[in-house]
Structure 1
Amino acid sequence: MPEHAAGTVIAVDGPAAAGKTTTCLALANTFGLRYLESGRTYRIIAFEALRREIPVDDTREITGLCDELLMESRTESLLTAERYASDKLRETPVNVAVSAVAKIAEVRQRVTGLIRLWAKTQAQCVVEGRDIGTAVFPAARVKFYLTASPEVRAMRRVRQERADSYENVLADVIRRDEADMNRAASPLVAAEDAIRIDTTRLTIDQVTSRMASACRNQGLEIIRQCE
Structure 2
Amino acid sequence: MSEKSGKKVVIAVDGPAAAGKTTTCLALADTFGLRYLESGRTYRIVAYEALRRGVAVEDGRAVVGLCDDLIDESRSTNLLASTRYEPQELRSISVNRTVSAVARIGELRGRVTELIHLWANAQARCVVEGRDIGTVVFPSARAKFYLTARPETRARRRVQQEGRGSYEEVLKDVIRRDEADMSRSVSPLKPAPDAVEIDTTSLSVNQVVDRMVDVCRTRGVAIS
Normalising by structure 1, what TM-score? Answer: 0.83
Deviation of 1:151 after TM superposition, in Å, equals: 1.9
Moved more, 25-34 or 173-182: 173-182
Q: Which residue of structure 2 aligns with residue 214 of structure 1?
A: 215
CA displacement 1:125-168 (0-9 Å, x = unmatched): 11111111011111111100011122222222222222433333
Contact 2:19 2:154 in 1 (8 A): yes
Point out the more displaced range, 196-205 or 53-62.
53-62
Choose 83-92 or 134-143, whichever is displaced more.
Answer: 83-92
In structure 2, C-alpha distance between the alignment counterparts of 1:50 and 1:203, rounded to whole Å: 40
Q: Which region of structure 1 is more displaced relative to structure 2, 164-173 or 208-217?
A: 164-173
Q: Does structure 2 retain, via aligned residues, the 8 Å contact 1:7–1:119?
A: no
Unaligned runs of 5+ in 2: 1-6
In structure 2, distance between residues paired with 1:75 and 1:120: 12
RMSD of aligned residue pairs (Cα, Å): 2.5
Quick one: distance in 1 between partners of 2:172 and 2:54?
25
Q: Which amino acid aligns with 1:157?
A: R
Which residue matches 1:3? Answer: none
**Alignment match, 1:11:** 12
Question: CA–CA distance in 2 between the matches of 1:43 and 1:138?
Answer: 23
Are 1:121 and 2:115 counterparts?
Answer: no
State the Cα distance separating 1:122 from its structure 2 match: 2.0
Moved more, 167-176 or 205-214: 167-176
11-20 or 98-107: bigger deviation: 98-107
* 1:188 is aligned to 2:189: yes
Aligned length: 218
TM-score normalized with structure 2 length: 0.84
Q: Within 2, Cα distance between the matches of 1:81 and 1:26?
A: 22
Residue segments in structure 1 that go unaligned for 5+ positions in a row: 1-5
- Counterpart residue number, 2:4: none
Identity among equivalent pairs (%) = 66
Q: Is the 8 A contact 1:99 1:180 kept in 2?
A: no
Question: Which residue pairs with 1:145 in the alignment?
Answer: 146
Q: 1:115 to 1:170 in 2, by over 3 A?
A: same
